[in-house]
Amino acid sequence: MSETQDKAQSSFKLNPMDELNDLRMSAKALPLLEHVKTFIRETVNPMSEEFERLGEGKADIWSYAPGQLECLEKAKDKAKAEGLWNFFLPNAETGEGLSNLDYAYIAVELGKNRMASETMNCAAPDTGNMEVLERVGTPEQKKQWLEPLLAGKIRSAFAMTELHSASSDAKNVNTRATLVGDEYVINGEKHYISGAGDPRCKVMITMVQTSPDGPPNLRQSQILVPTDAKGFKVIGPQHVFGDPDAPHGHMHVV
């Protein structure tokens, strides 16, 4: 930036009506953004090339080739060591305490390398699932699921979409959960469930009907379903524009 441009920017004043339209990154987050850019350039880019090389020619696309997870974990350890971890959480005790706007700038950089988001534990669907667990999870649920997710030790999925309904509207979800004793029995199928193909996926937040006779907007609940639960099964992958996105996947599950 030239001296003239710098002076012009420093003298620019927002009036109160324009504050909501100010889409500039905050000054406090700028050093973090530069740190992320440098880390991606110097660490993630070369390690992602190694990750892809290790996976070349593997027979089973739904598993990791020898050395791939070790490469990924090494990159994650480096990110942790540099404090580049869990940017998405608004709670400064467990994340960076960034605004949505500041995080958007960082997310742009993370999107430039397929491995970058997971390297810094900012990969979907884990990000949204961790925020749900942090906000409304019980102490037991946080201990069992949130802590290993925050540490990057497991992966997760969010199961909402169904084949025969416009299930982006939760009122249309047909999967039902019935309380039997002290457990819910869930019956239904979910489609295009991102992340359910990853062998490290250990839990799904699952949108279900628990009160089918109630008002349409009050029938739903979200239930934590461990992927080793009795009856849970991954039927198979569903391609998106011809891409299976293995081993993360977009899966048909019952």
Question: How do residues 123-154 score in pLDDT, each as one tens digit?
Answer: 999 999 999 999 999 999 999 999 999 999 99
- Number of domain units in the chain: 2
Query: From CA 40, how far away is CA 4, in angstroms rounded?
Result: 31
Q: Which helix (H) or strand (E) holds 128?
A: helix 126-136
Residue 129 in any domain: the answer is no
Residue 162 in any domain: the answer is yes
Q: What is the pLDDT of residue 97?
A: 82
What CATH number is given to the structural domain containing 245? 2.40.110.10
Q: 3-state DSSP call for residue 167? A: coil
Instruction: Verify that 164 and 113 share a domain, yes or no.
Output: no
Average pLDDT, the chain: 90
Q: What is the pLDDT of residue 13?
A: 59
- From start to end of the chain, where are the E strands? 155-159, 176-180, 183-187, 190-194, 201-209, 220-226, 234-237, 250-253
Instruction: Verify that 168 and 244 share a domain, yes or no.
Output: yes
At 7, is the pLDDT very low, low, confident or very high (cuts 50, 70, 90)?
Answer: very low
Residue 244 in any domain: the answer is yes
Q: What percent of the chain has pLDDT over 90?
A: 73
What pLDDT digit, counting tens, does each position of 173-227 carry? Answer: 999 999 999 999 999 999 999 999 999 999 999 999 999 999 999 999 999 999 9
